[in-house]
Amino acid sequence: MARDTTDFRPIEGFDELVSYLAAGNKPKEEWRIGTEHEKFPFYVDGNRPVPYGGDKGIRALLEGMQRLLGWEPIIDAGHIIGLVEPTGQGAISLEPGGQFELSGAPLKTIHQTCREGNAHLAQLREIAEPLGIRFLGLGGSPKWTLAETPRMPKSRYDIMTAYMPKVGTKGLDMMYRTCTIQVNLDFSSEADMRRKMQTSLKLQPLATALFASSPFTEGTTNGLQSWRGDIWRDTDNARAGIKEFFLAPNFGFADYVEWALDVPMYFIIREGRYFDATHVTFRQFMNGALKDEIPNGVPTMGDWANHLSTLFPDVRLKRFLEMRGADGGPWRRICALPAFWVGLLYDDAALDAAETLTSDWTYNEVIQMRDEVPAQGLATKLRNRTLREVAREVLEISRSGLAARNQKNREGYDETGYLAPLEEIVARGSTSAEEMVKAFHTRWGGSIEPVFLEFAY
C-alpha cells in the first residue's frame, strides 16, 4: 500500500464497516485492473544492497523520480518514502528493505498495464543508471543476509519489525527479503466477490508454483522453488494464509469484518505520528481500549482502512480483491500475472469454468497444496494429478476468458499473448526457479552473481 489513509469520520458501528467493503461493488463496465510489482535495487558495482541515504541511495532515487514525473512526495517523519500521482492514478512506494514498488493505476486492459510497467521501468532506468543502480526481478533476495539488508525510515515498518518476531518465525524475511507481483480486481456484488475470492483462493497455490522464482538465500540454493511462498507459511498466521470460513457457501462482507475485528492492529496515525497498537484488536479499539493512550482515541474510518491493509490473506478483500500468491519476476511476468487472473475472473464463462473445476477442492487439500508448493512447485499433487496438469487446464480457461474479452492493441493482438511465459513453463515442465538452480550448478559455476545480470531490469 502506497500511503496510509487519513479519514477522520468516527465509526458509527459494525454495519458501517461492512458498508465500507460493499461500496466496492461496481458494474462490469467499470471493472479495472490494478497491477503492483516490487523489485530489489542493487548497486551494479559488487551487486550490493542500496541504503536509504547518501548521494546514490534510495532517497536520491525517489527525489530523481519526483523531478522526472512531477508526482507528489509521501513524507513520513521528514523522510520521503514514496510518490503519488496527483490524481491518485498510481504510486511508488518502498517496502521495508528498500524494495521499490509501483502501485499501478486502475486500467481497462492488460495492454495498458504492460505499457505502464514498461514506462515505469524506463523512467526508473533514466534516474537509476547514473547512480549505478539496477533492479532485480525475483521473489526473494538471493544474496544478502538480513543484517546486510537496508532498513527504510518508515514508521509503520518500525512497529512491524518489533512485532513480527513475536508472532512467527519468518516475518522479518517477508518484510525485508521478498518481492511480489499482485493484481487488484473488482467485483459487482457480494455474491460476485464470494465467487471470485473463493475460486482464486483455491488457485493461489497454483499461482505460487507458476511464478516460483526464489530458489536462493544468502548466496546459495535454499532447497525451495518459492522461498517467498514458504515464508508466508509462518509470518503472522493470525492475519495471513487461507481461513476455512473464507470458503463457506454463504461467506460475505460481514464475515470478513468479524474476522478483521479480532486481528491485532499494527498502528494508529494521529497528527502524522504513528502509535503502536499491536497490543489490541480492532474490536477492543472500538470498545475504547486506546482512548486514554493516544490523542483522539476514537476509531475512524481511516483507522479501519489502514487496518484492512495490514491483513495478509492469500487473497485480500478491500473494496477490491488482491491476488497475493505470486513471486516477483522479470518484466514479462508483470504482464502475465494480471493476464492470468483477468482471464479467469473477468469473463463470465471462464469464471464458471474455473469455479466448476475447483468446486469440490476441500479446504484441507488447498492448504496441503499451499504447504507443498514452495518445495515441489508444479510437481505438487492434487489427488491423482500434478499441478502441472491442473495448470494446463487453468491456463486454457484463462486464455478463453482473455479471448472472449477481445481487447485488441494497436497491432490487432488480443490479451492472450501475455500468458505465453506461463504456457512456456507448463510446456517445459520446469519453473523459473528450477531453471535458475540448474544454471547455478552448471554455467554459473556455483556463483550467485550471474543472477544479477540475467534477472535485472
* pLDDT band at 4; cut points 50, 70, 90: confident
Q: Give the pLDDT mean for 247-266.
A: 98
Residue 244 lies in a domain: no
Residue 286 lies in a domain: no
Q: Residue 446, exposed/middle/buried by CB under 10 A (0-12, 13-18, 19+)?
A: exposed
Q: Are 167 and 305 in contact (CB under 8 A)?
A: no
Q: Which of 263, 371, 242 is nearest to 316 (CA)?
A: 242
Residue 209 lies in a domain: yes
* pLDDT band at 7; cut points 50, 70, 90: confident
pLDDT at 179 over 50: yes
Model pLDDT for residues 124-162, shown as the tens digit of each residue = 999 999 999 999 999 999 999 999 999 999 999 999 999
* pLDDT band at 2; cut points 50, 70, 90: very low
Model pLDDT for residues 414-454, shown as the tens digit of each residue = 999 999 999 999 999 999 999 999 999 999 999 999 999 99
Residue 60 lies in a domain: yes
Residue 187 lies in a domain: yes
Q: At what angle do helices 348-358 and 387-405 cross, to 10 degrees?
A: 160
CATH number at residue 409: 3.30.590.20
pLDDT of the residue at 88: 86
Sign for the pseudo-dihedral over CA of 395, 397, 403, 409? negative
Q: Which of 182, 438, 227 is nearest to 454 (CA)?
A: 438
pLDDT more than 70, % of the chain = 99
Where in the sequence is the domain holding 119, given as residue range(s)?
A: 26-232+321-454
The residue to which cell 520446469 is assigned: 430
Residue 93 lies in a domain: yes
Model pLDDT for residues 283-314, shown as the tens digit of each residue = 999 999 999 999 999 999 999 999 999 999 99
Model pLDDT for residues 329-343, shown as the tens digit of each residue = 999 999 999 999 999
The residue to which cell 480486481 is assigned: 185
pLDDT at 357 over 70: yes
Q: At what angle do helices 190-210 and 387-405 cross, to 10 degrees?
A: 130
User: pTM of this prediction?
Assistant: 0.98
pLDDT at 1 over 50: no
Residue 12 lies in a domain: no
* pLDDT band at 233; cut points 50, 70, 90: very high
Q: Are 107 and 113 in contact (CB under 8 A)?
A: yes
Q: Give the pLDDT mean for 378-385.
A: 98
Degrees, nearest 5: CA angle 131-133-137: 160
Q: What is the mean pLDDT of the chain?
A: 97
Number of structural domains (the chain) is 1
Q: Are 117 and 111 in contact (CB under 8 A)?
A: no
Residue 40 lies in a domain: yes
pLDDT at 27 over 50: yes
